[in-house]
Amino acid sequence: MRVRLEENGDYEGVMNDLATKLGVNRFNLDFERDFKTPDKITGAVTLLPKLFDNSAITTNFDRVLEKAYEADAKSFVEKVTGRGQASAFFRAIPAGERYLLKLHGNLDNAAERVLNKAEYDAAYGNDGNIHDTCCIPKILKRLFTSYSFLFLGCSLSADRTIQTFMKVAQQEGSDTLPHHYAILASPSDAAKKQTLDDRLAAAHISPIWFPEGEFQSIEEILQLLME
């Protein structure tokens, strides 16, 4: 099981402001248009189908992951979203089918998207807390307590996704959880690294560090995993 979670940070409010300024229809059109998938996929993402020939999860809206698997003749049988029919994803895992869970939705489906504050509130909870009864926390809890995750391509900042993992770890107890890992740039600032270390520990995630700015190390680490 591979998980790719991108940084959300404070852009929930920024996206809300943009949608208000541009109008919802114009915002949705611009959003879909600006996320163009490159014609050629290169780099570490091309190794993922070789390492993880099964179901996968991403919070990214683009279609880079889909194209990487297609290029390796391992296209996903189906895609589902966190606010859509996610139950199909859980049935696909034991069946060994290659499904993609786009946790925060697709580019072209605003109804199932998690991007602005209103959409995050609907998906995670609207009072500043993570609600176990909301769709995304329910999915993440079920996955996080059952499968080992490898986080790739994200900074794991203090967004609602990592807050969900921290809450699950607190509720369940770290001794009961599978081991989880993240390939991350090691902050050169000692205080920032300590903050990140503490956050990861609270979420029961072990970092695999590479030097800050040396992003070619990600591909090198994945190559080592293939040996």
Which residue from 194, 186, 136, 127 is spatially nearest to 162, judged by alpha carbons?
136
Label residue 111 by pLDDT band (50, 70, 90).
confident
CA–CA separation, 9 and 89 (whole Å): 27
For helices 11-22 and 24-34, what crossing angle results, to 10°?
Answer: 120
Q: Are 144 and 177 within 8 A, CB to CB?
A: yes
Looking at domain 2-226, its CATH architecture is 3-Layer(aba) Sandwich (3.40)
* pLDDT value, residue 8: 40
Residues 123/102, Cβ–Cβ less than 8 Å: no
Confidence check: pLDDT of 54 > 70: yes
Residue range 219-224: average pLDDT?
A: 96
Domain ranges of the chain: 2-226
Mean pLDDT of 111-136: 90
Helical ranges in the chain per DSSP H: 11-22, 24-34, 48-51, 64-71, 87-95, 117-124, 135-144, 160-172, 190-202, 216-226
pLDDT value for 17: 56
